[in-house]
Amino acid sequence: MNGSGEFMDTHRDFYISYDFWSENGQVCFTIFNNSDKEIYLDLSQSYFIDNLQAHDYFKDRTIITNTSSALASNSGSYLKSKAGVSIGTQIETHEKKLVAIPAHAYKTFTEFKAGENQYRSCGFVLNPRPKENAVLFFDATNSPSVIENRLMLLIDQKETPIVHKFHIKEYRNLRQQDALVESQSTSCDGSKNTVKTNKYKANNRYFIQYALSYENGVLVTDRIK
């Protein structure tokens, strides 16, 4: 794991890197082919394991992509009105069991999420006040979330199983204003813009956004359970 929190598994012909930074922890991994030959990812033998529950990467899906182009005219004989006309087409592709990664190239895969629900536990403050502790730590034996990415690669027609296992080691509740920092960016015309970024951003982290419930201005969400 490097300084940005990126996990990287390096082999002679390839390496695989992960980036979890997104809402709900989209499991994004990239396979880089360093060799002079094609490498294949066999989706039919690859699985995402979420707290022991297995999910298939290959679902034999038909994917339909809609595309459209617009035509418009304000005079002449081609279009008789001033309204635009949209011409749509559909492109239908069938999911493949084997995904090729060409030589000296890479492909990125995103299918599953590491966690979509906020974590609640007795005493774990939901909306911490300034200087109020809202951090929980775990290890591989007691983590509430353990995931595995089991991949089957084909290299020179030989099956190469790869297993990557991750677990949550920390949950931290933060107010939005405590997580964001402001900085100035300069546009091409020289104007200044204020940009907000999350100071906890790292490839081995993700975030879950949630809102508190109020009635008549009074917080009704239980803060500590």
**Residue ranges with strand state E in 95-157:** 98-101, 105-113, 135-137, 146-155
Claim to verify: residue 78 and residue 101 sit in the same structural domain = no
Q: What is the pLDDT of residues 110-133, one digit of tens each?
A: 999 998 888 888 888 888 888 888
CA distance 54 to 48: 6
For residue 47, being part of any structural domain is answered with yes
Q: What's the confidence (pLDDT) of residue 75?
A: 45
CA distance 19 to 149: 13
Claim to verify: residue 37 and residue 125 sit in the same structural domain = yes
Q: What's the confidence (pLDDT) of residue 1?
A: 57
Claim to verify: residue 34 and residue 144 sit in the same structural domain = yes
Q: What is the pLDDT of residues 193-223, one digit of tens each?
A: 898 999 999 999 999 988 777 777 777 667 6
CA distance 8 to 19: 10
Claim to verify: residue 110 and residue 189 sit in the same structural domain = yes
Q: What is the pLDDT of residues 170-189, one digit of tens each?
A: 999 988 888 999 888 888 88
Q: What's the confidence (pLDDT) of residue 135?
A: 94
pLDDT at 46 over 50: yes
For the segment 26-49, the average pLDDT, to the nearest whole number, is: 97
pLDDT at 28 over 90: yes
pTM for the model stands at 0.80
Q: Are 134 and 128 in contact (CB under 8 A)?
A: yes
What is the domain range of residue 74?
Answer: 61-94
CA distance 76 to 79: 7
Q: What is the pLDDT of residues 61-111, one digit of tens each?
A: 887 877 665 555 444 444 444 445 556 677 888 889 999 999 999 999 999
For residue 71, being part of any structural domain is answered with yes
For the segment 24-28, the average pLDDT, to the nearest whole number, is: 95
